Structure 1
Amino acid sequence: MAVLVALGAFLMTLAGGWSAHRVTDRRHLVLGLAGGLMLGVVGLELLPESLEAAGTELYGVPVALLLFVAGFLLAHLVERLLAHRPRHLDPARAGGTPMTAHGAAENHGRTPEVGLTAAAAMVGHSAMDGVAIGAAFQVGGGMGATVAVAVIAHDFADGFSTYTLAHTYGNARRRALAMLWAGAAAPVVGAASTLFFTIPEPLLGGYLGLFGGALLYLAAAETLPEAHHAHPARSTLVCTVAGVLFIWLVVSAAH
């Protein structure tokens, strides 16, 4: 089941990459919805489940919460290491290589290898998304479904970023597409890997806490700011709230 669900992440990643090449003016609504889904999964499913599964405390603090904070900081560290990548990509630029004037200035003198390295980091992140789907299904079908919804929604942004990072830094379209396909396949490979081992419950709870922290960072620092950057519209906020409410309904139905 985890592998079949991961195929949704595969398709959504490709959709994000296609949008990066053929940008539409509705991307902000998709990202707003994705941010709400991610926030809902972290607060309503991942944190409660990780606290229950991990169980133990370290110096008076639940291990799951410590790993949650560690996941947030780890995602922040990785984002800072890649901070030279172009931010707030402008859909108006033609040719599928959108960036602002500021981003174009920053890109001066950079080599294609920089873009490939950053895109490869996105591929590795997508593989861990697949592992999270598989781990969540080991907890139960309801948990797996809610995590899968968040990952699939988030992978639209991942696909967009993977293609853009590779192409903006001067790589040929063929290379950018190759990185996009690798990013799309990564969640399926990650989910398939969990078929060959069962994660002990305390370790599973810790991993879900770590993943929850990273997912919260991606929602708060990446997906939602990008959604509201070019289109600070009420419709984007409505999509975000709708995403949280949808996860609430899914969690309620699963329990």
Structure 2
Amino acid sequence: MPVLVAAGAFVMTLIGGLVAQRIGDRRHMVLGLAAGLMLGVVGFDLLPEALDNHPGHVFGVPAGLLMFVTGFLALHVVERSVAIHRAHEGEYASHTHGHGHAHEPVKGIGVAAAGALVGHSVMDGFAIGAAFQAGQTVGIVVAIAVIAHDFADGFNTYTITRLYGNGRRRAQALLTADALAPVVGAAITLAFTIPSGVLGLYLGFFAGFLLYLATSDILPEAHTPHPSTSTLVCTVAGAGLMWLVIGLAD
């Protein structure tokens, strides 16, 4: 089941990459919806499940919440340390100093950034498999959030590779790797059962990971270059939809 669901992430990643090649002025609405879905699954499902699976405390703080903060900070530190945070095109496009020498974008940076997104997508698939081990409902809502988010992953993998001067074929190859990655991650979880306590810690960690992506990456990008009321409506609708899905599942 997790591998079949992860196939949905495969398709959505490819769609995101294809849209990146032909996008008009509507991507902000899609990204706003994806961010809302992610916020909903973090607040309404992942954190409650993390606390249920690992009720222990560490120095007065629930272990699941401690891992939640750790997951958020871990991705923040990694992105800042290896400079994979998506930047505006003007910051990395060719530029000329006063002496007249032009500096082209470094292709290797785009490949490294896209490679990091592929690694992240493996963890997305692992999260789907881990969530299904926690329960069918958890697995479904996590899968919805991951699949929605993988549209942005595919979009960004293709865009950032091209942004740094790489050719279309290389960008498409990295997009394909990013699409396959969730299926690989989900397949890994079929090899073993995660103990309940460890599962609770992982779900907390992944919740922080997902919240960082939604608030620090996807939402700012959704509101760039122009803030939009429709984007806000899509974000609120996404969170509300996830609330409805979880309520009906229970």
Q: What is the TM-score when the length of structure 2 is the normalising length?
A: 0.93
Q: What SS does the aligned partner of 1:171 have?
A: coil
Q: 1:71-99 CA deviation, whole Å, 9 max, x = no partner?
A: 000111122124366524xxxxxxxxxx3
What residue is the counterpart of 2:111 in the other structure? 116
1:164 partner letter: T
2:93 partner letter: A
1:104 partner letter: A
**Structure 2 gaps, min length 5:** 96-101
What residue is the counterpart of 1:214 in the other structure? 209
Inter-partner Cα distance in structure 2 for 1:121 and 1:71: 16
Inter-partner Cα distance in structure 2 for 1:211 and 1:165: 24
Q: 1:23-62 CA deviation, whole Å, 9 max, x = no partner?
A: 2211110000000000000000000100110121111111
Inter-partner Cα distance in structure 2 for 1:30 and 1:103: 25
Q: What SS does the aligned partner of 2:93 have?
A: helix
**Structure 1 gaps, min length 5:** 89-98
Inter-partner Cα distance in structure 2 for 1:183 and 1:23: 19
Q: What SS does the aligned partner of 1:217 have?
A: helix
Kept after mapping to 1: 8 A contact 2:94/2:104: no
What residue is the counterpart of 1:205 in the other structure? 200
Q: Given the alignment of the two structures, is residue 250 of structure 1 paired with residue 239 of structure 2, yes or no?
A: no
One of 162, 166, 178 as aligned partner of 1:167: 162
Deviation of 1:19 after TM superposition, in Å, equals: 1.5
What residue is the counterpart of 1:229 in the other structure? 224
- Residues 165-174 or 118-127, more deviating: 165-174
Q: How many residues align?
A: 244
Q: What SS does the aligned partner of 1:114 have?
A: helix
What residue is the counterpart of 1:91 in the other structure? none
Q: 1:174-214 CA deviation, whole Å, 9 max, x = no partner?
A: 11111000000000110111111100000000000000001
Kept after mapping to 1: 8 A contact 2:37/2:235: yes
- Residues 236-245 or 72-81, more deviating: 72-81
Kept after mapping to 1: 8 A contact 2:29/2:231: yes
Q: What SS does the aligned partner of 2:151 have?
A: helix
- Residues 119-128 or 166-175, more deviating: 166-175
Kept after mapping to 2: 8 A contact 1:38/1:154: yes
- Residues 170-179 or 101-110, more deviating: 101-110
What residue is the counterpart of 1:104 in the other structure? 93
Deviation of 1:146 after TM superposition, in Å, equals: 0.5
Kept after mapping to 2: 8 A contact 1:85/1:165: no
Q: Alignment RMSD, CA only?
A: 1.5
Kept after mapping to 2: 8 A contact 1:142/1:254: yes
Percent identical across equivalent pairs? Answer: 60
Kept after mapping to 2: 8 A contact 1:86/1:103: no
